Chain A
């Protein structure tokens, strides 16, 4: 009851005109930042930090948080409309979102994504209100061994992303893992597959990879065939059909759960929940083979998951003072600049501010949905632009985005190379999703493995003596056995789907 009382006070605070204005501004800026590839929420919030110094701390923090979750929605727009993920957490949405746009159902995809984001964000905030303290201490038990086990689960799901041929899906996944090996290795800090290129020391940027595979690859296909059906497709309906709603509500709820729980674990990042949600929906679907051809569940789940994630990832910050992701670290910086120390004492010392910020998360989610729903018809109009104009601007946009990633032309070349790869892979029916998954998970897994072994001084027992790690590895084993059986039967020729 006391919580409710505090929350009511917070809502009153969040609805004050100044705070409302900054929540609104944050949502707008966040959406823009999400749309622009290369500038993610991290850069967006960082650029605004100097500006927030002159603001009232509550307003500043409200705005920065709004940018964070606003960006998750902005990224969806470009993924769905032009197959260019505005940031990595929306990469997976390209698969079905863009396929829907090609069928003239971009409006439906965006509406469902907006509603899903709203639900995910709101429920996660509710979780923040009631479950924050008890759950966050459990999340701390996630050390390197648990991380490693979670990454293994993620990788074991990879065969779930196969479409027509298991061999091709695995080829794509293995290729992604090899790409992930480039850079300074996490073991001895030596150079690996860098060929003396200093640009490669940090490895290959996932966003360049995703922009190339999806965005550039698609433009090359369009340019080759001058296929009219792709972008001139009639924009049939803006609103989701009754069937769309029926197909979406369960993925939205599951996406909320996945996003929320992963958001509690510091350091995993917004991409992982979207992938897990996508794979879960595909596995649970009665028609998994149709994923990638415009399944609404493939948009609803991941898009909900990334919003739930971004709201939930504020939990470790508020309760433990741990910034779970780079953007949250910047929000934490805004707290510190104002002499506020995030952590257990924050709720006691600055209760007003904390509850106003929490309430503003609800308010912000409402603003986002109000802001975005009426704009969807406008966004969809982009698809009506002439092909040459659209393709030129998308490419210019990709070049700009790749350059701003690290202020280096090198990423433009990486993007172009992966564009060629995306083009060839699609011609050969090799799925792109497994590769994106492994490029992201590969380095995290290798790092977590090394850290675990540094803790245990080289003993692998560490993975089998910790309950969470054992449970996760058990799950991975089940998935792996299931896929191996499938592979074995495929090799014997019982399955025509090799």
Chain B
């Protein structure tokens, strides 16, 4: 596990620099004590130091044994990517297209990711998780969900 921690540490270090750079532009102190920039700045410093500690440790001490399944298989990575893409699409479409159609497509997609279920089951679950949920929330619980085009 040497390389993954080195990469993580470098990512954290850049985040610390980004936060720190933004924090110095906020007011550091006010007449009544710490200003809005006080905590972000010190947090960035602390975060950076921790990232450095992780980097040194990963580089110069005996590395922890690599986890066998640390790197996903090609198919595994595809599945993870598809789920995240589905989530993103759902977030972008839900207001415009409406909850029911968006979630129907989302559920069908998800059932596809995990695969190997009969089509009847796939359709039933997808409808339950979209039109069914809409019915329960909007008509029964009176919680508004986007109606969209349908």
Question: What is the CB-to-nearest-CB distance from A201 to chain B, in angstroms, rounded to a whole number?
Answer: 14
Q: Give the residues from 353 to 373 in chain A that come closer than 8 angstroms, CB to CB, to chain B.
A: none
**Binary interface encoding of chain A residues 382-403 relative to chain B, with 1 for a CB under 8 A from any of its CBs, else 0:** 0000111101110111011001
Closest to B31 in A: A458
Tell me, yes or no, whether B120 is within 8 Å of chain A by CB: no
Q: How far is the CA of A99 from the CA of B9 in the complex (A)?
A: 28
Q: How far is the CA of A220 from the CA of B40 in the complex (A)?
A: 31
Q: Are B144 and A407 in touch, CB under 8 angstroms? A: yes
Q: Are A192 and B40 in touch, CB under 8 angstroms? A: yes
Q: Which residues of A contact B92 (CB under 8 A)?
A: 409
Q: How far is the CA of A392 from the CA of B108 in the complex (A)?
A: 9
Taking A181-B40, A412-B87, A423-B80 as contacts, is the C-beta distance between A458 and B33 under 8 angstroms? Answer: yes
Q: How far is the CA of A498 from the CA of B64 in the complex (A)?
A: 11
**Binary interface encoding of chain B residues 4-47 relative to chain A, with 1 for a CB under 8 A from any of its CBs, else 0:** 11001000100100010010001100111111100110011011
Q: Are A396 and B110 in touch, CB under 8 angstroms? A: yes
Question: What is the CB-to-nearest-CB distance from A262 to chain B, in angstroms, rounded to a whole number?
Answer: 24
Tell me, yes or no, whether A479 is within 8 Å of chain B by CB: no
Tell me, yes or no, whether A168 is within 8 Å of chain B by CB: yes
**Binary interface encoding of chain A residues 226-257 relative to chain B, with 1 for a CB under 8 A from any of its CBs, else 0:** 10000000000000000000000000000000
**Binary interface encoding of chain A residues 85-119 relative to chain B, with 1 for a CB under 8 A from any of its CBs, else 0:** 00000000000000000000000000000000000
Q: Give the residues from 36 to 61 in chain A that come closer than 8 angstroms, CB to CB, to chain B.
A: 39, 43, 47
| Total chain B interface residues with beta-carbon distance under 8 A | 71
Q: Which residues of A contact B67 (CB under 8 A)?
A: 427
Closest to B9 in A: A171
Tell me, yes or no, whether A420 is within 8 Å of chain B by CB: yes
Question: What is the CB-to-nearest-CB distance from B83 to chain A, in angstroms, rounded to a whole number?
Answer: 6
Q: Give the residues from 407 to 436 in chain A that come closer than 8 angstroms, CB to CB, to chain B.
A: 407, 409-410, 412-413, 415-416, 419-420, 423-424, 427-428, 430
Question: What is the CB-to-nearest-CB distance from A43 to chain B, in angstroms, rounded to a whole number?
Answer: 7
Q: Give the residues from 174 to 213 in chain A that come closer than 8 angstroms, CB to CB, to chain B.
A: 174-175, 177-178, 181, 185, 187-188, 190, 192-193
Q: Are B40 and A428 in touch, CB under 8 angstroms? A: no
Q: Are B43 and A178 in touch, CB under 8 angstroms? A: yes
Question: What is the CB-to-nearest-CB distance from B46 to chain A, in angstroms, rounded to a whole number?
Answer: 5
Q: Are B144 and A409 in touch, CB under 8 angstroms? A: no
Tell me, yes or no, whether B2 is within 8 Å of chain A by CB: no
| Main DSSP-derived SS at the A contact region | helix
Q: How far is the CA of A412 from the CA of B86 in the complex (A)?
A: 11
Q: Give the residues from 82 to 102 in chain B that come closer than 8 angstroms, CB to CB, to chain A.
A: 83-84, 87-88, 90-92, 94-95, 99
Q: How far is the CA of A445 from the CA of B36 in the complex (A)?
A: 13
Q: How far is the CA of A453 from the CA of B94 in the complex (A)?
A: 44
Tell me, yes or no, whether A457 is within 8 Å of chain B by CB: yes
Q: Which residues of B contact A494 (CB under 8 A)?
A: none
Q: How far is the CA of A225 from the CA of B72 in the complex (A)?
A: 7
Q: Are B40 and A193 in touch, CB under 8 angstroms? A: yes
Tell me, yes or no, whether B119 is within 8 Å of chain A by CB: no
Q: How far is the CA of A378 from the CA of B78 in the complex (A)?
A: 34
Question: What is the CB-to-nearest-CB distance from B29 to chain A, in angstroms, rounded to a whole number?
Answer: 10
A223 touches which one: B31, B51, B80 (CB < 8 A)?
B80
Tell me, yes or no, whether A170 is within 8 Å of chain B by CB: yes
Taking A174-B47, A450-B33 as contacts, is the C-beta distance between A412 and B90 under 8 angstroms? Answer: yes
Q: Are B43 and A177 in touch, CB under 8 angstroms? A: yes
Taking A178-B43, A409-B95, A427-B67 as contacts, is the C-beta distance between A396 and B30 under 8 angstroms? Answer: no
Q: How far is the CA of A219 from the CA of B26 in the complex (A)?
A: 38
Tell me, yes or no, whether A224 is within 8 Å of chain B by CB: yes
Q: Are B54 and A187 in touch, CB under 8 angstroms? A: no
Tell me, yes or no, whether A454 is within 8 Å of chain B by CB: yes
Q: Are B26 and A413 in touch, CB under 8 angstroms? A: no
Q: Which residues of A contact B61 (CB under 8 A)?
A: 498
Q: Are A223 and B83 in touch, CB under 8 angstroms? A: yes
Question: What is the CB-to-nearest-CB distance from B89 to chain A, in angstroms, rounded to a whole number?
Answer: 10
Q: Are B91 and A188 in touch, CB under 8 angstroms? A: no
Q: Are A446 and B80 in touch, CB under 8 angstroms? A: no
Q: Which residues of A contact B69 (CB under 8 A)?
A: 225
Q: Are B84 and A416 in touch, CB under 8 angstroms? A: yes
Question: What is the CB-to-nearest-CB distance from B27 to chain A, in angstroms, rounded to a whole number?
Answer: 7
Q: How far is the CA of A396 from the CA of B113 in the complex (A)?
A: 14
Q: How far is the CA of A192 from the CA of B79 in the complex (A)?
A: 36
Q: Are B117 and A388 in touch, CB under 8 angstroms? A: yes
Q: Are A419 and B143 in touch, CB under 8 angstroms? A: no
A174 touches which one: B27, B50, B88, B125 (CB < 8 A)?
B50
Q: How far is the CA of A450 from the CA of B29 in the complex (A)?
A: 12
Tell me, yes or no, whether A449 is within 8 Å of chain B by CB: yes
Question: What is the CB-to-nearest-CB distance from B101 to chain A, in angstroms, rounded to a whole number?
Answer: 13
Tell me, yes or no, whether A285 is within 8 Å of chain B by CB: no
Q: How far is the CA of A399 from the CA of B34 in the complex (A)?
A: 38
B94 touches which one: A403, A423, A454 (CB < 8 A)?
A403
Residues of A bordering B, CB below 8 Å: 39, 43, 47, 167-168, 170-171, 174-175, 177-178, 181, 185, 187-188, 190, 192-193, 216, 219-220, 223-226, 386-389, 391-393, 395-397, 399-400, 403-404, 407, 409-410, 412-413, 415-416, 419-420, 423-424, 427-428, 430, 446, 449-450, 453-454, 457-458, 460, 491, 498
Which 4 pairs of residues, A with B, have the shortest CB-CB distance? A388-B114, A185-B36, A412-B91, A224-B76
A/B interface sample: 15 pairs, CB < 8 A? A43-B143, A47-B143, A168-B54, A171-B51, A187-B36, A223-B114, A225-B76, A388-B110, A391-B110, A400-B145, A409-B92, A409-B94, A419-B84, A453-B34, A491-B53
